[in-house]
Amino acid sequence: MSIMHIALLCSGGDAPGMNCAIRAVVRTALFNGLQVTGIKRGYAGLLKGEFHPMNLSSVGNIIQRGGTILQTSRSPEFMKPEGRIKAVEILRAQGINALIVIGGDGSFNGAKALWDEHQFPVVGIPGTIDNDISGTEYTIGFETAVETAIEAVDRIRDTAHSHARTFLVEVMGRNSSAIALKVGVCTGAENVLLPHDKVNHQKIVDDIQRGMARGKESSIIIVAEGPVAGRSYEIQKVLKEKYKLDAHVAILGHIQRGGSPMADDRFIASQMGHLAVQTIMEKNYPTVTVVKNGKVTLATLEDCTQKADYNFIEFQKLAQTLSI
Ligand code: F6P
């Protein structure tokens, strides 16, 4: 019987801890006598045949590194059925029996199409700083991104207090409230604006003035990036022109996606990479490694293809209550 041959790729935005998942996949595969190939630059690289055989040293000294050694991309070509026909032909020509995809809900939708249209075995590992995939309580990278943002906001608070200033601090989250809410609660922000919130400028001003009336020296408003990064500048303009309130803007941007993964991200990614390979050996696909009730386990791929902002939305009330 021929040796089982698995491939893996990262897709969508990178996230700290992806390298830990890659390492765990490669080492578990090799431990079990499987052949393993890394595909560079996600689905786009797959279509270009960017295949690299992986051995123990390909994943040496990467556990502490942010980003992804396989690199990543978003591929419009793969989103079309013809692109996926080509992808499956390429995978089969390489003798690959199964594909592991590390990414977000968009990447999982691509994997699901490979299974639905071609019955190509796929297993997903959730990796995105947004923590917004259905079917899992956690996605690799979230805690590290939150920690990075908290550190930045704490520094901004120092200078905001010294100068008695208001800051709008914009964090990532095109459609996800998770980073904004957790950072807002953990930094004692005076206000948290979610990605699709219609901005209530009057409320922002009232909240700040109420704080000032009881001697507060600084205000931090956490703004989730929303569909277009930089929305804080528009809010700043309205606050100035309509309410004569000066606010400074700090956009944290991609600094939140880089950096060395924290222990939780390393630990969960290691468990997920290990489980993904075991799952393939047991021919249990299409599945996704998820966190449920705090434990790493499996869900069906079908359950993990939606964007889910509900994991964190329950903390909106907490953020509001603690910021009075
Ligand atoms: O990785 C998720 C995410 O960081 C979103 O929160 C953000 O809106 C988006 O990616 C920006 O990504 P890019 O720079 O790749 O367009």
- Could you report the per-residue pLDDT of 20-57, keeping only the tens digit for each? 999 999 999 999 999 999 999 999 999 999 999 999 99
CA gap 318, 21 in Å, rounded: 33
Instruction: Examine the domain organization and report whether 137 and 268 are in the same domain.
Output: yes
Question: Read out DSSP for 263-291?
Answer: HHHHHHHHHHHHHHHHHHHTT--SEEEEE
Instruction: Examine the domain organization and report whether 81 and 10 are in the same domain.
Output: yes
Query: Could you tell me if residue 298 is inside a domain?
Result: yes
Instruction: Examine the domain organization and report whether 147 and 43 are in the same domain.
Output: no
Q: Is the pLDDT of residue 313 over 80?
A: no
Q: How far is CA 74 from the centre of its chain?
A: 14
Query: Could you tell me if residue 55 is inside a domain?
Result: yes
Residue 226 pLDDT grade (very low, low, confident, very high; cuts 50, 70, 90): very high
Residue nearest to atom 1 of ligand 1 (CA): 13
Please tell me if the CB atom of residue 173 comes closer than 6 angstroms to any atom of ligand 1.
yes
For the chain, the domain total comes to 2
- Model-level pTM? 0.96
For residue 132, indicate whether it is catalytic.
Answer: no
pLDDT at position 17 is 98
Instruction: Examine the domain organization and report whether 153 and 251 are in the same domain.
Output: yes
pLDDT at position 311 is 65
Residue 310 pLDDT grade (very low, low, confident, very high; cuts 50, 70, 90): low
Please tell me if the CB atom of residue 265 comes closer than 6 angstroms to any atom of ligand 1.
no
**Lowest-pLDDT range of 131-135, 240-244, 274-278, 311-315:** 311-315
The runs of H, that is alpha helices, within 128-177 are 142-163
* Over residues 2-18, mean pLDDT: 95
* Over residues 126-150, mean pLDDT: 97
Instruction: Examine the domain organization and report whether 156 and 95 are in the same domain.
Output: no
Domain around 99: 5-141+261-304
Query: Could you tell me if residue 311 is inside a domain?
Result: no
Q: Cβ-count burial of 93 within 10 angstroms (0-12 exposed, 13-18 middle, 19+ buried)? A: exposed
CA gap 207, 227 in Å, rounded: 25
- Could you report the per-residue pLDDT of 28-37, keeping only the tens digit for each? 999 999 999 9
Tell me the C-alpha to C-alpha distance, in Å, between residue 299 and each of 19, 124, 136, 295, 302.
22, 10, 8, 12, 8
Please report, to the nearest 10 degrees, the dihedral formed by the alpha carbons of residues 291, 307, 76, 114 taken in order.
50
Query: Could you tell me if residue 321 is inside a domain?
Result: no
B/e letters for 297-317, b = 16+ CB within 10 Å, e = fewer, are ebbebbbbbeebbebbeebbe
If you measure from the C-alpha of residue 92 to the centroid of ligand 1, how many angstroms do you get, rounded to a whole number?
A: 32
Please tell me if the CB atom of residue 65 comes closer than 6 angstroms to any atom of ligand 1.
no
Instruction: Examine the domain organization and report whether 118 and 174 are in the same domain.
Output: no
Residue nearest to atom 15 of ligand 1 (CA): 13
* Over residues 79-102, mean pLDDT: 97
Instruction: Examine the domain organization and report whether 206 and 224 are in the same domain.
Output: yes
Q: Is the pLDDT of residue 199 over 70?
A: yes
Q: Which residue has the tokens 């807002």?
A: 184
pLDDT at position 1 is 55
pLDDT at position 315 is 86
Instruction: Examine the domain organization and report whether 131 and 164 are in the same domain.
Output: no
pLDDT at position 206 is 93
Q: Which tokens sit at 302?
A: 């079908």
Contacts of residue 317, defined as CB under 8 A and 6 or more positions apart, other chains included, come to none
Query: Could you tell me if residue 243 is inside a domain?
Result: yes
Please tell me if the CB atom of residue 299 comes closer than 6 angstroms to any atom of ligand 1.
no
* Over residues 275-302, mean pLDDT: 97
Query: Which CATH number do you get for residue 48?
Result: 3.40.50.450
Closest alpha carbon to 208 in 224, 220, 225: 220
